Homo-oligomer: A and B are copies of this chain.
């Protein structure tokens, strides 16, 4: 049995005793200060300070049903993709006086149910997850408990659950459209597997629509699948470049684009003179690369902050109709990695 060290810590009743008021009043002081009289307020404040009292936010949770904790489930933390989102979400939550419980499933949907269970056991007040493709089980568990769920990062007008994010179809469209404007016809697509990645899927569709192509009509070397991993992308793109160099490469996100840039550098191929590259995301660092990466900016911070606000503001429980859906505008940022060949 473990040491039970923080026993004997002063509680609300000790504070009450010292302040000469009832515990109920102390409780009210911390939850709705404006409802207790100025004078008693001071008394309690002083007593709390004297005793070194910290609120116990998890004690009465059962009673009122809120723990002040919000969950965030992401595919991965260890990757530039969601870093900005996580950071912003966490710090915004702090403003709302909530804390964040975070977990990553490493693109393995099967892990998600375990994570959700663990969060539910901690009585989270709400949870944000990435995208729409999830196993049925965790979603049902959440729904059964009436825990508000919010899909962050992607937007679809007919999303099955409330969502906030960029319209990834449009994001893909923007990127491809730019390439087309610049006169590129022979472009290679490098994307991650889209089975359980709706963001990538939507982007891909946007891209395909610009070029009016179907995935099956794309040649072997014009559609390449690789995970969001710099090394893997680099290898795949080296191979592409060696076999059949396109005029431009459009990457599923900026980490793939980074791999593409490294691939070119390792082969001595000049960007953008020999080949143009466009990314998606505008991650930290993309602007400083050489050459500066042309990409479509996903406003991670805005998404994260609004997501936090929504979840803290007691997002209404999901119902098929009347679901909250917020679209955040993405933005093409042109730097130096795409050449105008008109």
Contact = CB atoms under 8 A, between A and B. Distances in A.
Nearest to A284: B78
A54 B6 contact: no
A62 B123 CA distance: 16
A94 B106 CA distance: 13
Given A101-B100, A121-B56, A83 B78 contact: yes
A210 interface: no
Contacts of A52: 144
Contacts of A121: 54-57
A90 B102 contact: yes
A2 B65 CA distance: 10
A28 interface: no
A218 to B, nearest CB: 26
A47 interface: no
A324 to B, nearest CB: 15
Contacts of A119: 99
A246 interface: no
User: 8 tightest A-B contacts by CB?
Assistant: A5-B146, A265-B290, A78-B87, A77-B87, A78-B83, A58-B58, A4-B65, A57-B121
Interface of A: 2-7, 9, 52, 54-59, 61-62, 64-69, 76-80, 83-84, 86-88, 90-91, 94, 97, 99-104, 106, 114-115, 117-123, 141, 144-147, 230-231, 234, 258-259, 262, 265-266, 284-285, 287-290, 314, 317
11 contacts: A4-B64, A5-B317, A52-B144, A56-B62, A69-B101, A79-B284, A87-B104, A91-B103, A94-B114, A99-B122, A258-B285
